[in-house]
């Protein structure tokens, strides 16, 4: 089954304790992306990757890091989490088709709480 998986699904942590949220897709997609969703602010893109070893900042990259060492994986790293990073996080992937448009497939989400 074609899917995007994220782990963990729920995480409660404390300020300053480094954490990684993993994202993996089995569709051989080139494009992967991370979003955060907050009430009243909609979905905002954090980072995206066009392919292996190619990453770029989205709308709200501060406080986050990503890496793309393998095509299927795109982990999101919070080196020193703070309470304002409490949010619902989504990973997405897409094929870079012939047309300049992408149907994105989203993971189930990771609900992160930083105390």
Binding site for another protein (CB under 8 A): 4, 31, 33, 35, 42-45, 48, 50, 56, 58-59, 88, 90, 92, 96, 99-109, 111
Query: Which of 83/108 has CB closer to another protein?
Result: 108
Phi and psi at residue 111, in whole multiples of 5°? -95, 115
Nearer to another protein, 72 or 105 (CB): 105
Q: Are 88 and 37 in contact (CB under 8 A)?
A: yes
Nearer to another protein, 15 or 53 (CB): 53
What count of residues does the chain have? 115
Smallest gap, in angstroms, from Cβ of residue 63 to another protein?
A: 17
- Report DSSP letters for 69-81, one per residue: SSSSB--EEESS-
């Amino acid at each position: 089954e074609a899917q995007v998986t994220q782990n963990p699904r729920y995480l409660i942590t404390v300020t300053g304790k480094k954490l990684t949220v993993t994202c993996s897709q089995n569709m051989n997609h080139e494009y992967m992306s991370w979003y955060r969703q907050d009430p009243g602010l909609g979905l905002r893109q954090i980072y995206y990757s066009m392919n292996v070893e190619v990453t770029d900042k989205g709308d709200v990259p501060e406080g986050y890091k990503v890496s793309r060492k393998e095509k299927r994986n795109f982990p999101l790293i919070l080196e020193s989490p703070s309470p304002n990073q409490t949010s619902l996080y989504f990973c997405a992937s897409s094929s870079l088709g012939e047309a300049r448009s992408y149907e994105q497939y989203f993971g189930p989400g990771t609900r992160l709480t930083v105390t």
